Structures are given as structure tokens and as C-alpha cells.
């Protein structure tokens, strides 16, 4: 535990330099990053489908305006929770690129986390024109969240990012033992897509299924911050759910830390 705190302390001191380096990296590959951001078209595709469904009248309280607002918020949160540590780890472990990173006086995971966070401002800048167009086209989409809601959104979206990062890191670490970590993640991703609120708001699921979705980790990775931002969930009602989110971050964080230690030992044993 004390070791973890020391590690974090070192990371904090190194943070400004880390962010500078990582941001320069993002700027160097700006076109690549822009394509990456534009690739997240799924919310718009789902918006088209549910929009057609709601054309005959609202479903479970979601009319066409609510549907559009929900998926616009999804577009934003998806960008804010973006991580690619899975592919990074998978590559580093297979090609031995992890070795030099292990020599640094801080965990490679923290280093990668900083690099992913520093891409965030850039992602938002690219997203802005699209959101602008969307609101210009349908001004009724805009719902200004209250100040407490906005604050809770900030907390919830940070936790959602951490969850995405940690889960991806866990699947990435599977590469220490398995060849098929990307395929395994594909299954997780399919479940995530279905249950996180990515393809449909939780409220549109059959009522018997909804309580289960609240306890699974998927909703905390996307749907919860989306509903807070879009004004579908009052901040008071959202508080317990943010607690569940925090719980998942702690649980998966502990598993990640344990697995990482075992994995690095295993990696060393290969003589890489």
C-alpha cells in the first residue's frame, strides 16, 4: 500500500513533463487522432434507429428530442472516456517494448494513463464543430445541466474513464499469458456495447433486466455519466450509482495491481 502511494507521488511530480511529452505526441499525429475521433460513429447510427422508433411516439418516456439528446451526450462521453491501453499493452508485451518502460522509476501504466489523458483536450476540440452543428440543427437538444449536476458529471465521467482504462489494462495484461487477449476483449466489448447504454438507454430495456444493469460495471463506464449530462438523471438520484461506480473502480483497480505484479514476473521469466 505504501508502495502504491509512493508510486503515485512520483507520478504526480512527473506529471507536468509527462503531459508535455504526451501532448506533443498527439499533435505530431493529429490527423491520425482526428480520424480516430471521427470513427466513433456508433451513437449517430443508433440515434438514426431509435429516432425512427420514436417517430410514432415516445418509447419509455423517450421522444425524438430525448433520443437525440441522449445520443449526443453519448458521443461526448465516449470521447471523454477513450482509452487504448489494451492495444498498447498488447503491442508492448508481444514486441518486448515493455522492457525499457519497466526501467523507468514509475509504473508504465501510469505513464500510459497520462498519455491518454493528455489527448483529451484535442478530442474535445475535434468534437466541437459536430456538437455545434447538432445543436444548430435541433436547438431543443440543448439542456443546461444544473451546477451540482455538472459537478457530479465531472466526478462520474472521471470514474468512467478510470473504469475503461482499468478494464482495458486488465485485458491487455492477459497478453502476458495468452495470445488471444484482443479476441477476449471483443467479447467484453460486445457485452459492454449492449449493456452500457451505448446502443440504447437503460430505461428502454425490459423492466426485469434494468435492476441487473445497475449493478453491472458496464453502465458506470458510459450510461451513468451520459444520463447525468443529458439531464435524464437528477444528481441526488445519481449519487448512489456513482457509489457503485466507485466500488467497481476500487475492485478492478485492486485486481489490476495484483495481476500487473504477477504479469511482470512472468514477462521477466521469458527473458524478454
Q: Which residues bind other proteins (CB under 8 A)?
A: 29, 31-32, 35-36, 38-42, 45, 48-53, 55-56, 59-60, 179-180, 183-184, 186-187, 190-191, 193-194, 199-200, 204-206
Q: Which is nearer to other proteins, 10 or 138 (CB)?
A: 138
Measured CA to CA, the distance from residue 52 to residue 63 in angstroms comes to 10
Number of other residues whose CB lies within 10 A of the CB of residue 110: 18
Q: CB 156 → other proteins: shortest distance, Å?
A: 24
Closest by CA position to 220, among listed 236, 197, 254: 197
Cell 484535442 appears where?
122
Q: How far is the CB of 221 from other proteins (least distance, A)?
A: 15
CB of 82 to other proteins, least distance (A): 13
The residue behind cell 527473458 is 271
Cβ-based nearer residue to other proteins, 17 or 187: 187
* Cα(191)–Cα(261) distance, integer angstroms: 28
Shortest CB 113 distance to other proteins, Å: 21
Taking the C-alpha atoms of 157, 159, 164 and 165 in order, what is their torsion angle to the nearest 10 degrees?
Answer: 120
Q: What is the 3-state secondary structure of 104-142? A: CCCCHHHHHHHHHHHCHHHHHHHHHHHHHHHHHHCHHHC
> Measured from the CB atom, is 15 or 53 closer to other proteins?
53
Our CB check for other proteins shows the closer of 3 and 32 to be 32
Give the whole-angstrom CA distance, residue 72 versus residue 55: 18
What CA–CA distance (Å, rounded) separates 221 from 160?
A: 4
Q: Which is nearer to other proteins, 62 or 161 (CB)?
A: 62
**CB of 186: closest distance to other proteins in angstroms?**
5
* Burial class (CB within 10 angstroms; exposed 0-12, middle 13-18, buried 19+) of 254: exposed
- Least Å distance, CB 220 to other proteins, is 19
- Give whichever of 54 and 233 is closer to other proteins, judged by the CB atom: 54
Amino acid at each position: 500500500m505504501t508502495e502504491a502511494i509512493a508510486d503515485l507521488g512520483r507520478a504526480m511530480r512527473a506529471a507536468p513533463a509527462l503531459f508535455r511529452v504526451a501532448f506533443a505526441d498527439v499533435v505530431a499525429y493529429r490527423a491520425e487522432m482526428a480520424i480516430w475521433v471521427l470513427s466513433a460513429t456508433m451513437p449517430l447510427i443508433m440515434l438514426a434507429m431509435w429516432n425512427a422508433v420514436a417517430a410514432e411516439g415516445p418509447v419509455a418516456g423517450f421522444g425524438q428530442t430525448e433520443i437525440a439528446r441522449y445520443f449526443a451526450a453519448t458521443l461526448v462521453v465516449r470521447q471523454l472516456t477513450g482509452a487504448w491501453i489494451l492495444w498498447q499493452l498488447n503491442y508492448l508485451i508481444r514486441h518486448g517494448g515493455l522492457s525499457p518502460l519497466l526501467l523507468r522509476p514509475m509504473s508504465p501504466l501510469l505513464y500510459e494513463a497520462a498519455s491518454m489523458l493528455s489527448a483529451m483536450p484535442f478530442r474535445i476540440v475535434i468534437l466541437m464543430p459536430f456538437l455545434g452543428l447538432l445543436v444548430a440543427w435541433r436547438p431543443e437538444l440543448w439542456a443546461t445541466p444544473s451546477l451540482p449536476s455538472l459537478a457530479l458529471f465531472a466526478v462520474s465521467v472521471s470514474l468512467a474513464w478510470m473504469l475503461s482504462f482499468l478494464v482495458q489494462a486488465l485485458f491487455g495484461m492477459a497478453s502476458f499469458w495468452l495470445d488471444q487477449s484482443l479476441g477476449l476483449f471483443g467479447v467484453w466489448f460486445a457485452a459492454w456495447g449492449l449493456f452500457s447504454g451505448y446502443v440504447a438507454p437503460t430505461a428502454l430495456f425490459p423492466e426485469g433486466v434494468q435492476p441487473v444493469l445497475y449493478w453491472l460495471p458496464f453502465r458506470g463506464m458510459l450510461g451513468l455519466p451520459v444520463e447525468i449530462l443529458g439531464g435524464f438523471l437528477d444528481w441526488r438520484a445519481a449519487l448512489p450509482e456513482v457509489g457503485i461506480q466507485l466500488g467497481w473502480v476500487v475492485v478492478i483497480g485492486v485486481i489490476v495491481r495484483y495481476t500487473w505484479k504477477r504479469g511482470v514476473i512472468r514477462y521477466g521469466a521469458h527473458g524478454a
